[in-house]
Homo-oligomer: A and B are copies of this chain.
Amino acid sequence: MKTAADNNIPYKVYLDEYELPKAWYNVRADMKNKPAPLLNPGTMEPMTAEELSAVFCDELIAQELDNENRYIPIPQEIRDFYKMYRPSPLVRAYCLEEKLQTPAKIYYKFEGNNTSGSHKLNSAIAQAYYAKNQGLKGVTTETGAGQWGTALSMACAYLGLDCQVYMVKVSYEQKPFRREVMRTYGASVIPSPSDTTEIGRKILAENPDTTGSLGCAISEAVEAEVTQEGYRYVLGSVLNQVLLHQSVIGLETKAALEKINVKPDIIIGCAGGGSNLGGLIGPFMGEKLRGEADYRIIAVEPASCPSLTRGQFAYDFCDTGKITPLAKMYTLGSGFIPSANHAGGLRYHGMSPVLSQLYHDGYIEAVSVEQTAVFEAAELFARCEGLLPAPESSHAIRAAIDEALKCKETGEEKTIVFGLTGTGYFDLVAYQQFNDGVMNDYIPTDEELAKYAETLPPQPEE
A interface vs B, CB < 8 Å? 10-12, 14, 16-17, 81, 83-85, 95, 113-115, 117, 121, 154, 157-158, 176-177, 180-181, 183-186, 379, 382-388, 423, 425-426, 428-429, 431-432, 434-435
Name the contact of A115 in the complex, choosing from B154, B387, B426, B432 (C-beta under 8 A): B387
- Nearest first, the 5 A-B pairs at minimum CB distance are A177-B428, A425-B425, A157-B383, A11-B83, A115-B388
- Write the nearest CB–CB distance from A309 to chain B, whole angstroms: 28
Q: Is the interface of A mostly helix, strand, loop or mixed?
A: helix
Which B residues are in CB contact (< 8 Å) with A382?
115, 157, 184-185
Q: How far is B96's CA from A49's CA once the two chains are assembled, in angstroms?
A: 38
Name the contact of A84 in the complex, choosing from B115, B185, B386, B388 (C-beta under 8 A): B386
Name the contact of A386 in the complex, choosing from B154, B385, B388, B432 (C-beta under 8 A): B154
Name the contact of A95 in the complex, choosing from B84, B117, B426 (C-beta under 8 A): B84
Query: What copy number does this chain have within its complex?
Result: 2
Which B residues are in CB contact (< 8 Å) with A183?
431-432, 435
Q: Provide 7 A-B residue pairs closer than 8 Å at the C-beta atoms, listed in order of the A residue.
A: A12-B83, A113-B113, A114-B387, A154-B386, A158-B386, A176-B428, A425-B425
Which B residues are in CB contact (< 8 Å) with A83?
10-12
Which B residues are in CB contact (< 8 Å) with A386?
81, 84-85, 114-115, 121, 154, 158
Contacts A84-B11, A185-B382, A386-B85; A431 near B115 (Cβ below 8 A):
no
Question: Which chain B residue has the least Cβ–Cβ distance from A150?
Answer: B388
Which B residues are in CB contact (< 8 Å) with A180?
428, 431-432, 435
Question: Which chain B residue has the least Cβ–Cβ distance from A83?
Answer: B11
Q: How far is B202's CA from A204's CA once the two chains are assembled, in angstroms?
A: 54
Q: How far is B388's CA from A84's CA once the two chains are assembled, in angstroms?
A: 13
Contacts A115-B425, A176-B432, A180-B431 known; list 8 others, CB within 8 Å. Answer: A84-B95, A114-B387, A157-B384, A177-B177, A177-B428, A183-B431, A183-B432, A185-B383
Question: Which chain B residue has the least Cβ–Cβ distance from A427?
Answer: B177
Q: How far is B178's CA from A432's CA once the two chains are assembled, in angstroms?
A: 11
Which B residues are in CB contact (< 8 Å) with A176?
428, 432
- Write the nearest CB–CB distance from A330 to chain B, whole angstroms: 33
Interface pair A423/B115, CB less than 8 Å apart: yes
